[in-house]
Amino acid sequence: MVSSIIISAAVLVVTITSTMMIMLFSLADAISSPSSSTDEAEALRSTGWWNSTSAHCHWDGVSCNNAGRVTGIALYGSGKELGELSKLEFSSFPSLVELNLSACGLNGSIPRQIGTLTQLTVLSLHDNNLTGEIPLSLANLTQLLYLTLCSNPLHGSIPPEIGKMKNLIFLDLGYSNLIGVIPSSFGNLTTLTTLYLDGNQISGFIPPQLGKMKNLKSLLLSHNGLHGPIPLEIGKMKNLNNLNLGYNNLTGVIPSSFGNLTNMNSLTLRGNQISGFIPPEIGYLLNLSYLDLSENQISGFIPEEIVNLKKLSHLDMSNNLISGKIPSRLGNLKELKYFNLSYNYLSGTIPYSISSNYRWTQIDLSNNQLEDQTRAPVEAFGHNKGLCGEIKGRPRCKKRHQITLIIVVSLSTALLLSVAVLGFLFHKRRIRKNQLLETTKVKNGDLFSIWDYDGVIAYQDIIQATEDFDIKYCIGTGGYGSVYRAQLPSGKVVALKKLHGWEREDPTYLKSFENEVQMLSRIRHRNIVKLHGFCRHKKCMFLVYKYMEKGSLYCMLRDEVEAVELDWIKRVNVVKSIANALSYMHHDCDLPIIHRDISSNNILLDSKLEAFVSDFGTARLLDNDSSNRTLLAGTYGYIAPGKLDYNLH
């Protein structure tokens, strides 16, 4: 009984206390806010931005808290033309957290009273017609996380006071006509992840204090007239993944401290006056996919370390003073699609890893001092051209040769003769090359047009001639794929090796296919089967060869009648032919080619019993760099026994 009275009394006390507390809090709230909910409704209505008669908290783009106070005004994308920003009486909204009026047709200047929105965390006014200067009162918005004023015709400079907005995460003042310098106080914005100041008329140096922005991920300072060197301190922004300093007047060198920026994904220094060498430390930026150093005065060599950048897809170093050779393994970068080294002083040959690739979307090596490769590179490039994109630069490689000639001639008449001979040789080769290119362009149904891949006619011819690869035209199977015989409308007969559907899914067969294309387009020998072209489409992959009437040596030897026809004299001729072909592959090619699968199956005979080496699916270049030369490949029983000899039935 007594205890229940005590409990009741206690409950009463607690109730009274809490009621008083609530009243006190409400009173405090009322005192701290100069306005009320009705004032807010009135302030919103007076802008003329809304028409509705309902309660203001339900209006489009208006949000309120539980106490009915306005916390958000977001008309972004509403299509309204709001006019003067000053129509909004800022002091009426002490609880406003988000003001999102981007692309709302605002004009006039940003009122000083904006500094009263001290609870604001989001201020987004981009893509309007706001003019005037950025008000200093903005610095009082210390809760701000997100500030964007980009794409407004503002003027004046960036207030250093912005450096006081210690909580800022995102700051975009790009394309806003701003002048002056980047305030060093920005270094205090240590929580900032994004800073865009691009497209202004900012001048002066990049303040080294920016290096203190440890959380910065994206820094765009392009187009705006910055000069002086790139501060070493940028190398301290360990989280940086996107840096664009393009189209400024920056001088000095690329700091080797850039090697610390291992999160970097995109780096653009295009269009400055940067000089010196490319630091080898660039090879540490393993996540780099976009690198643009073009239009500078960078000299020295392309560092070998660049081949570490396995994710690189865009590489532009054009328009610099870079000399030396192109790193031989550069073409091995699997992701590389855009590749521009034009307008430099590169010399030596175009590495095979590049010339043999046909995945380029764009590749430009023009206006260098590169020599042409001695064997069949035109074809290799031709394939690229036909399949994926354009290779520029080969004809123009001559230009600087000619300029060099002129200088040399004027320096020493003694050299005149030899130089003239050289020039003649180049000229001759060029004519030959042009002839080759011409043949690939024939489109009258001849198979060469397949090299262009856009040769619809030739493709149709093949499909018709084989009734879409009907089994009745199949004449055998190779190491991979099935071989078909096709008689074209012109009367010409060709052999087609087509990958089966399931083989197209299998990387091993795909690799063999590509390998064969690469190898056979590199070499040309009377005893190596001639590849006319290929079709490389995800739905239909086939190779087009010269047709060999008598089939393989293996079949011939197995057939009792035919084996007799192939008498000993003819067999010796076969051996001689194959020896010739192998000797050519091993000794006369740019890089020796080893076939790795010489067997009677892979030796084909034409109507005159002339022998040809075929099936280059597992062939390899004997590259000095290659590490795994001991790898076994080929048909069991025919694998080369260590030396480059071979075995015939």
Ligand X SMILES: *[C@@H]1O[C@H](CO)[C@@H](O)[C@H](O)[C@H]1NC(C)=O
| Residue 88 to residues 107, 114, 119, 544, Cα–Cα distance (Å) | 12, 10, 16, 74
**Per the residue annotation, which of 597, 615, 623, 625 is the catalytic one?**
597
Minimum Å gap between C-beta 349 and ligand X is 20
Q: How far apart are CA 163 and CA 142, in angstroms?
A: 10
Contact status, residue 252 vs residue 227, Cβ threshold 8 Å: no
DSSP state of 74: E
Minimum Å gap between C-beta 249 and ligand X is 18
Minimum Å gap between C-beta 188 and ligand X is 4
Q: Which is nearer to ligand X, 287 or 297 (CB)?
A: 287
Cite the annotated binding site for ATP by residue number: 497
| Residue 409 to residues 405, 420, 422, 504, 625, Cα–Cα distance (Å) | 6, 9, 12, 56, 39
Number of H helices, E strands in the chain: 12, 33
Minimum Å gap between C-beta 226 and ligand X is 18
Strand segments, DSSP code E, in 479-637 are 482-487, 493-498, 531-537, 540-546, 551-552, 593-594, 603-605, 611-613, 620-621
Minimum Å gap between C-beta 197 and ligand X is 16
Q: Which of 195, 233, 190 shows the shortest CA–CA distance to 211?
A: 233
Minimum Å gap between C-beta 126 and ligand X is 9
Tell me the pairing of strands 266-268 and 290-292: parallel
Other Cβ atoms closer than 10 A to 333: 22
Q: Which of 77, 144, 66, 156 shows the shortest CA–CA distance to 110?
A: 156
Minimum Å gap between C-beta 468 and ligand X is 37
Positions in the binding site for ligand X (CB under 6 A): 51, 74, 76-77, 100, 115, 122, 124, 136-137, 139-140, 146, 163, 184-185, 187-188, 262-263, 286-287, 294, 318-319, 340, 342-343, 362, 364, 392
Sheet holding 129-131, edge to edge: 83-84, 106-109, 129-131
Exposed / middle / buried, residue 413 (Cβ in 10 Å: 0-12, 13-18, 19+): exposed
Query: Residue 513 corresponds to which tokens in the numbers above?
Result: 């296919």
> Helix, strand or coil for residue 472?
helix
Cα three-residue angle 197-201-206, rounded to 5 degrees: 55
Cite the annotated binding site by residue number: 497
Q: Which is nearer to ligand X, 201 or 362 (CB)?
A: 362
Q: Which is nearer to ligand X, 194 or 342 (CB)?
A: 342
Q: Which is nearer to ligand X, 74 or 178 (CB)?
A: 74
Q: Which is nearer to ligand X, 341 or 613 (CB)?
A: 341
| Residue 220 to residues 112, 206, 268, 280, Cα–Cα distance (Å) | 28, 12, 9, 24
Pick left, alpha or beta for residue 127 (phi over 0 → left; psi -120 to 50 → alpha; otherwise beta). Answer: left
For residues 221, 224, 230 and 234, what is the CA-based torsion angle, rounded to 10 degrees?
Answer: -20
Sign, CA dihedral 624-626-631-635, equals negative
Q: Which is nearer to ligand X, 274 or 523 (CB)?
A: 274
Minimum Å gap between C-beta 38 and ligand X is 21
Q: Which is nearer to ligand X, 185 or 193 (CB)?
A: 185
Q: Which is nearer to ligand X, 6 or 286 (CB)?
A: 286
Is 597 a known active-site residue? yes
Sign, CA dihedral 409-412-417-421, equals negative
Cα three-residue angle 22-24-27, rounded to 5 degrees: 110
Tokens 């908290």 belong to residue: 57
Catalytic residues: 597
